[in-house]
Amino acid sequence: MERFAHLVMHHRRIVSGIWLALFIGGMVSVSPLGERWSLDFSLPGQPGDNAEQQLIDTYGVSTYDSYLAVVTVPQGETVEGNRAAVAGVISAGVAAVTDVKLRVVDLASTNDPGFVTDDGRATYALIQAPVPVTAGPQIETQLDPALTEAARAAGFESGLTSYVLMSAGGDQEGSSVLVETLLAGAAALLVLLFVYASFLALLPLLIAGVSILVTFMLVLGLTTFTDVSIIVKFLVALIGLGVAIDYSLILVSRWREERAHGRSNEEAVVVAMKTAGHAVMASGVTVAISLLALLILPVPALRSMGVAGMLIPLVSVAVVLTLLPALLSSVGPRIDYPRIRKEGTASRGWSAWARLIVRHRVIATATALIVLGLLVAPVFSLKIGPGSSLESLAHNGPRFDTLQTLTDGGVGAGVITPIAVLVPARDANAAAQAARGVDGVQLAVVGTTSGDSAVVDVFPSRPTLDSDASTVVTDVRAAVESEVSGQVGITGLGPTIEDYFSAVYDKFPYVLVMIALITYLLLVRTFRSILLPLKAVLLNLVSLAAVFGSIVFFWQLGHGSDVVFDVAPTGAINFWLPVVIFAFLFGLSMDYEVFILTRMREEYDRTGDTGMAVITGIGRTGRLVTSAALILFFSFSAIATSPGTDTKVLGTALGVGILIDATIVRALLVPALVSLFGRWNWWLPGWLARALFVEPSPLHPVRIVPPEALPEPGKVPAGIN
């Protein structure tokens, strides 16, 4: 790292020029990237996805979003008495959708009275369209106005709704990614001004801007080879902002500290790279490794999040370890003005806090474990599903009112999550009859026939929006297969949940073990210890459990979501969210562990005393870690301002995770446990050290420092600095 620092400083103009060119390339990449985001959450090879592909190939439509067009006749009239006119309204709406083929299943096509409400005044039609290829509004922009116009001409009322339309938040609008990033950047700037109290606060923002745009440019290149989920744009912009600023914060602060101790500018850069730069490198690699979990899973959308997610820390590390030292060595001292805050001594407040923990390590450990236990407790109620109960979707506006018309008329709300059953045409009637007899099914009809294939449309009584309600899918499959001699395919929202469980969650424990093992080996080499990495991995898992417990309490059970976001309890957590939250938080939370323990390791190697290492390590990193956590929290809070419930859950989960980790875990439990374990923290036997190509760390004689010998708050013994 020392040689690398000298190389960067010697060629700083070339380094700066290269990053300037990449920055411009990133700016150019943003616009074309907006048209390449994918909405695909398919699971290739799974039964539900195979049935979905059969539906697409045979009928040209998908169950991605099943629209419900509702027509209501005036008071005193019935649908049956206006049957031809009602059918004309639906036909007019469908005819207005140009350039795509639609599949329509309604009263006119089936003659089934189940499509009419109990009072006889309203009817609904199931309308399915091809798979969307771009984000944003789909066929509803043509279908809804045409239905309204045709219904008004006939003297009727109409409405259009669907699960996707309602989960978008009704009439709610969210800010754009650019606005969210700018808001998060402004909040980060306030924190940086507090930390540096000089124009140096602008430097981490510059590094973040370069990192984000270069990452977008790489993602654009990635879209030429594979689909990239639309969720990635939030991850790159907002997580990239927080990660790049955090890494810059650590390196710049160490550079300032070394300059405050009398080193020349270039010497300060070299020392900062050897110490903080090494920690940044280890942290970035740890975050990237944690995202391997998404690459291993057989879900293209999650894999794209994993690849793009790995680019975020790796690009940030590259920029921080090249462009940042180049700038510090050239303009650093000039922009470090006015130097109101000094870095020559450790923080008095954090040193006093660490001294208190060292004195009362058992109490501190017990307190942290009790708080974590309370946060973890709700996790045992976790339900996996599409992530939004019916109540947590839009509860006002035309989409909600349209569904309310049906439910008020005795039609079960499960109509919003229909199940498509593909069977041989010869067995279609038998399959529909078998599905009608399943408990939890309100309607099953032969919807469409094409050649030797038929689609039986099954409407559950309740929405299949969690792992409990989706059991009706299993019952329907069993009932139909018992009556059909040929192949049976089932697709829809409920079958997708089943597919995710078999494709993702059945294998995820093995993935988790693999990621934990790789991370452990990396940290053994970083900390030169057997015990510290084990503690770090275990505490990360406990911290993650506390995060999941918190989002179950807040979102699934609804203790706060209605007050803060005006969203009712979701009833379940979306099936893709837990693995994404794990992959990002496992690495991001480890950042602070790496920064704190690396500094503690440095101080222990210098003094040979664990108590001094804890006090100095926390005194030197406490303010930085807290500031870095606040910056990441602001970035994740910006994600939570998006209109979709799922992105709100993701943003709050990541934000709460960072706060839990930076406060309860890293500021309380970590120093308490390090103080408890004493010299065993630092032990690395020679045989393992040789295998990992690092220096061994033998057990030193216990050095007991009585409490009265510990330094006063804010004071550090000579030699520590």
- Token pair, residue 285, equals 């690699």
The pLDDT of residue 714 is 44
DSSP state of 116: B
Identify the pLDDT of residue 371.
95
User: Which pLDDT does position 90 carry in this prediction?
Assistant: 93
pLDDT in tens, 666-699: 899 999 999 999 989 999 998 988 888 888 888 7
DSSP string covering 624-691, please?
Answer: HHHHHHHHHHHHHHHHTTSSSHHHHHHHHHHHHHHHHIIIIIIIIIHHHHHHHHGGGGG-B-HHHHHH
pLDDT band at 700 (very low <50, low <70, confident <90, very high): low
For the ranges 263-277, 338-352, 407-421, 472-486, which has the lowest average pLDDT?
Answer: 338-352
Judged against a pLDDT cut of 70, whether residue 705 lies above it is answered with no
Percent of the chain with pLDDT over 70: 92
CA count, 13 A, side-chain hemisphere, 343: 25
Tell me how far apart the alpha carbons of residues 465 and 497 are, in angstroms, rounded to a whole number: 8
Strand bridging mode 228-229 / 37-38: parallel
Residues 326 and 16: beta-carbon distance below 8 Å: yes
Q: What percent of the chain has pLDDT over 90?
A: 40
Q: Which residue has 């975050």 as its token pair?
A: 287
396 falls in which pLDDT band (50, 70, 90)?
low
Residue 334 has pLDDT above 60, yes or no: yes
- What pLDDT does 170 receive? 42
Average pLDDT over residues 287-316: 86
Report the distance separating Cα 74 and Cα 350, nearest Å: 71
pLDDT score, position 716: 45
d(CA 308, CA 227): 11
Average pLDDT over residues 543-551: 94
Sign, CA torsion 151/152/156/160: positive
pLDDT score for 134: 65
Q: How far apart are CA 308 and CA 234, in angstroms?
A: 11
Q: Average pLDDT of 552-561?
A: 90
Q: Give the model's pLDDT for residue 267.
A: 94
- CA–CA dist 459, 436 (Å, integer): 9
Give the residue among 32, 37, 158, 23 at the shortest CA–CA distance from 86.
Answer: 158
With tokens 């040929």, the residue in question is 486
Q: What is the pLDDT of residues 421-454, one digit of tens each?
A: 999 999 999 999 999 999 989 999 998 988 899 9
List % helix, strand, coil for the chain (3-state, nearest 5): 65, 10, 25
Antiparallel, parallel or unpaired: β 122-128 and 103-105: antiparallel
Taking the alpha carbons at both ends of the chain, their separation in whole angstroms is 21
CA neighbor of 308 nearest in space, from 396, 372, 226: 226
Q: Is 469's pLDDT higher than 80?
A: no
Lowest average pLDDT, out of 83-92, 153-162, 232-241, 609-618, goes to 232-241
**Using alpha carbons only, how large is the chain's radius of gyration in Å?**
29
pLDDT of residue 309: 86
Q: What number of other Cβ atoms are within 10 A of residue 178's Cβ? A: 10
pLDDT confidence of residue 719: 40
Give the rounded distance of the alpha carbon of 240 from its chain centre. 13
CB neighbour burial string for 347-367, b if at least 16 within 10 angstroms, e if fewer: beebbbbbbbbbeebeebbee
Of 349-363, 386-400, 609-623, minimum mean pLDDT range: 386-400
d(CA 395, CA 682): 56
Pairing of strands 419-424, 384-385: unpaired
- Three-state DSSP class for residue 455: strand
pLDDT score at 628: 86
What pLDDT score does 713 carry?
A: 45
Sheet hosting strand 489-492, strand order edge to edge: 441-450, 453-460, 419-424, 489-492
Give pLDDT, residue 668. Answer: 93
- Which is more confidently placed, 603 or 574? 603
Helix (H) or strand (E) holding 255: helix 240-260
Sign of CA dihedral 206, 212, 218, 223: negative
Q: Which domains does the chain have, with CATH numbers?
A: 2-35+173-382+508-700 (no CATH), 66-161 (3.30.70), 418-493 (3.30.70.260)
Average pLDDT, the chain: 86
> Average pLDDT in the 325-332 region?
92
